[in-house]
Amino acid sequence: MKIIKRDGRKEEFNKEKIISAVNKAFIAVDGEESETGSAKAKEIAKYVFDLNKELTVEEIQDIVEEKLMASNRKDVARAYILYRNERNKVRTRNSALMRVIEEKITANNVLNQNANVDEASFGGRMGEARSELMKDYALNYIVSDMSRNNHLNNEIYIHDLDSYAVGMHNCLSVPFDDLLANGFNTRQTDVRAAQSINTAFQLLAVIFQLQSLQQFGGVSATHLDWTMVPYVQKSFRKHFLEGIPYIEPEVLETKKKELDKIKEELLPIEDELYVHVSEKLYRYAYDMTNKELKQAVEGMYHNLNTLQSRSGNQLPFTSINYGTCTLPEGRMVIKALLDCSIEGIGKLHRTPIFPCGIFQCMKGVNRKEGDPNYDLFKLALKSTSKRLYPNYANVDWSVNAGYDVNDPKTYMGTMGCRTYNGFDINGLGQQKDGRGNICPVTIILPTLAMEAKEMFENKEGKKGQSLIDVFMDYLDDKIHEAKDMLIERYHWICSQDPSSARFMYENGLMAGYDGKTIESAMKHGTLALGQLGLAECLQILIGKNQTTEEGMELAKKIESLFKERCKAFKEEYKLNIGVYYSPAENLCYTAMKKFQKRYGVIAKVSDKEFFTNSTHVPVWEEVSPFEKIDLEAQLCNYSNAGCITYIELDSGVQNNIEALEELVSYAMDKDVPYFAINVPNDTCLNCGYTDEFNNACPKCGSTNILQLRRVTGYLTNDYRTAFNKGKQQETEMRYKHSNKLQNWSHVPCKE
């Protein structure tokens, strides 16, 4: 007797399969195997066998159901039916999963979920297929039902679900001071401490790459200018001593004591001892050090734009913070970083995608004429006008109060996307190094608004409640669930063995690691409770967004709830749970697609391909740059886990650095923590000309154009091919805020 499998194959009938399935149904009801159950199982199996004809699997299962229902054990029949249904669900899910994996392997449905991953490449296809499998495993075998339902219902999104299963964490500010000074171990060998500025920058790129393999997010240097000071000094001493043979022996004889001290001690490059030995030698060493520094920085930029370390030819997401070191060595580093940014990389001098440069603005250091690093702030503005980088971090941000002015590790520093590590409740204070965003979730505010509206219309809220009251209560419930989801994932991450990330733990990249448990380090990081679509949420609730007085009032009420709850959670659980204004590069699109499927097209809410990021003013609102800063500054300080404000300008900014300075200073004075400026960056890939020209190069006429744009805090390559559909539309809808300013290209802006 043959049976016909679901895929059409035929095989010999095996009565033991029926006996096993029926016995399981009896055991599920009775709690143990019984003679009655075994007898009924054998009876049904014999009946099917005696039919002696080809049957499909489904036909056999139907017969089993009928025989059980006809017996006096209908409870067992129900158990068998439930078991059968569950098996069908698993098969259906697995079948759907296989279809998705086939799409990924063949690159038949490229979605550009991450703008810096090439989904069509071999590595990208393998990575995307593997990602789908890992997501399915995490959702169905690891997370709680509450977490799973929130994620699937488009209410609370679990970021980087494919990394959930193996217990990876998100991002990290790397303690480069320690690694460069002491060396580090890798899987294959060990690396000595850096002895020159060239080696230090090479190792910087190596460490960035190695750490990016231990996690799923970005890696940053929090104060690179200060970090590199001793290596500038080492290179200077090296070049100084190299020139000694060219100095007259009789001169050297009289300077033997000074030379011995120079060889033994690492001195600042402006130490008078150097000049005392030989002014000529001093100038030679200074020039050679500058030359080496420039080459080292160029090497770093090229390495970080070519060293692909993740599936899909993905570059490590790297960020460097700098700008506050007033020592001569630090100033040299800052200038070299900015000069290289302005010059660009490669034969066409293209804008580097990585690292994300972040200039740290600090009162008394670089903000005003007369400040020691004001000239470097001006150079940073020049770089921004042409290359979009650097962005600007506000060291004096009120939320970072309590930082140590003498310790750059405590200065306001960030990942390029916007992640910020605030005050550590577990003992590290405002220290940034060795800490990161452990894991984020994002509340989809428009979904909650629509659900609250349905509750209100169905009178499911408390008696006498308004729609806003119903929404706020519902949001409160979801904030608590989001907290539970974060803690659930935190414990899963902490349950992993440190051997999962040897480079990170053996070399002390995560602060506080006690050599035994992951939690000893993870407890210093941030659990980010994010949000998406505030503008659309307000539109659903009151028909206006935060650009209106009523909209801003409700926005502050919503953000106050986020802030108050996270503050309480932090104290209760002794974990750094913070409010996060999510980047949502892919989520802005996928969440909208799910929303549209459920609610259709709603004017000013779902009549486009994306949700507005976090608390941002919608990209289509025609406001001036000052107005946009004013609006977003009112909401920035409700976040203590990361946010960004950016404005859109035209290419005229390259001829008006004074206006650009006024805008950055205005944002800093408004207590904006992290500020970025979007300027058009079109590059001709034939001749290298860079400006705003869109479809054809005005210099050579080529249409081989790269249109580089910012995706979140980071840059990526041509947005027309690298961005998902939602981000493409969002980019095209971005209103140039400089349009609201008169004579923008010629005179400084005025408020």
Q: What is the pLDDT of residues 20-70, one digit of tens each?
A: 888 888 888 888 888 888 888 888 888 888 888 888 878 888 888 888 888
8 Å CB contact between 176 and 227: yes
Mean pLDDT on 522-542: 98
Lowest mean pLDDT among 7-21, 491-505, 580-594: 7-21
CB count, 10 Å around CB of 311?
20
Mean pLDDT on 429-435: 98
Structural domains of the chain in order of their starting residue, each with its CATH number: 2-141 (no CATH), 142-170+419-606 (3.20.70.20), 175-354 (no CATH)
Mean pLDDT on 205-228: 95
pLDDT tens-digit readout, 657-706: 999 999 999 999 999 999 999 988 888 889 988 887 877 898 899 999 88
d(CA 417, CA 414): 8
d(CA 407, CA 693): 44
Amino acid 722: pLDDT: 65
CA–CA distance from 340 to each of 197, 198, 300, 707 (Å)?
15, 15, 10, 21
Long-range contacts of 459-462 (CB under 8 A, 24+ apart): none
d(CA 50, CA 352): 74
CB count, 10 Å around CB of 339?
16
Angle at 356 between CA 306 and CA 157, to 5 degrees: 100
Percentage of residues in the chain with pLDDT exceeding 70?
Answer: 91
CB count, 10 Å around CB of 715?
24
Maximum distance among all Cα pairs of the chain, rounded to whole angstroms: 115
| Higher local confidence (pLDDT), 485 or 707 | 485
Closest CA to 48 of 34, 35, 66, 31: 66
Residue partners of 620: CB distance under 8 A and separation at least 6: 733, 734, 735
In whole angstroms, what separates CA 284 from the centre of its chain? 44
- Which of the listed ranges 5-14, 28-37, 334-343 does the model predict with the highest average pLDDT? 334-343
In this structure, is the dihedral angle defined by the CA atoms of residues 714, 715, 721 and 726, taken in order, positive or negative? positive
Lowest mean pLDDT among 71-85, 387-401, 527-541: 71-85
Amino acid 126: pLDDT: 65
| Higher local confidence (pLDDT), 153 or 721 | 153
d(CA 626, CA 744): 13
d(CA 737, CA 663): 11
Kindly state the tokens that stand for 314.
Answer: 């993905």
Residue 744 confidence (pLDDT) above 60 = no
Kindly state the tokens that stand for 175.
Answer: 């303690």
Q: How many helices (H) and strands (E) does the chain have?
A: 28, 20
Residue partners of 60: CB distance under 8 A and separation at least 6: 3, 18, 48
DSSP 47-103: HHHHH-S-EEHHHHHHHHHHHHHHTT-HHHHHHHHHHHHHHHHHHHHHHHHHHHHHH
Q: Which helix (H) or strand (E) holds 484?
A: helix 467-494
d(CA 67, CA 488): 45
| Higher local confidence (pLDDT), 433 or 89 | 433
d(CA 1, CA 55): 9
Read off the pLDDT band of 731 (50, 70, 90).
Answer: confident
Give exposure, 479-504, as e/b (b: 16+ Cβ within 10 Å): bebbbbbbbbbbebbbebebeebebb
Amino acid 593: pLDDT: 96
**Alpha helices by DSSP H, 247-326:** 249-254, 256-264, 272-277, 279-304
Amino acid 746: pLDDT: 42
Residue 502 confidence (pLDDT) above 80 = yes
CB count, 10 Å around CB of 64?
23
d(CA 17, CA 328): 80
Lowest mean pLDDT among 34-38, 229-233, 410-414: 34-38
Residues in the chain: 751
Residue 101 confidence (pLDDT) above 80 = no
d(CA 470, CA 484): 22
Give exposure, 220-248, as e/b (b: 16+ Cβ within 10 Å): bbbbbbbbbbbbbbbbbbbbbeebeeeee
In whole angstroms, what separates CA 367 from the centre of its chain? 29
Amino acid 733: pLDDT: 92
Residue 598 confidence (pLDDT) above 80 = yes
d(CA 235, CA 269): 10
Mean pLDDT rounded to a whole number for the chain: 90
Amino acid 58: pLDDT: 80
Residue with tokens 């020039």: 287
Point out which residues pair with 173 in neighbouring strands.
220
Amino acid 83: pLDDT: 77
Amino acid 54: pLDDT: 87
8 Å CB contact between 383 and 391: no
3-class DSSP state of 147: helix
Q: Taking the chain, what is the end-to-end CA distance rounded to the nearest angstrom? A: 87
CA dihedral 554, 557, 563, 564 (to 10 degrees): -160
Amino acid 432: pLDDT: 98
Closest CA to 494 of 524, 470, 466: 524
State yes or no: cis peptide before 230, omega within 30 of 0.
Answer: no
Amino acid 227: pLDDT: 98
CB count, 10 Å around CB of 5?
11
8 Å CB contact between 265 and 254: no
Residue partners of 435: CB distance under 8 A and separation at least 6: 172, 173, 421, 424, 428, 510, 511, 524, 525, 526
d(CA 373, CA 370): 8
Kindly state the tokens that stand for 194.
Answer: 């850096």
d(CA 150, CA 596): 17
8 Å CB contact between 171 and 149: no
Read off the pLDDT band of 747 (50, 70, 90).
Answer: very low
Return the CA Rg of the chain: 31
Residue partners of 500: CB distance under 8 A and separation at least 6: 166, 167
Mean pLDDT on 394-417: 96
Residue with tokens 């805008």: 663
Q: Phi first, then psi: what are they for 457, rounded to 5°? A: -65, -30
| Higher local confidence (pLDDT), 5 or 144 | 144
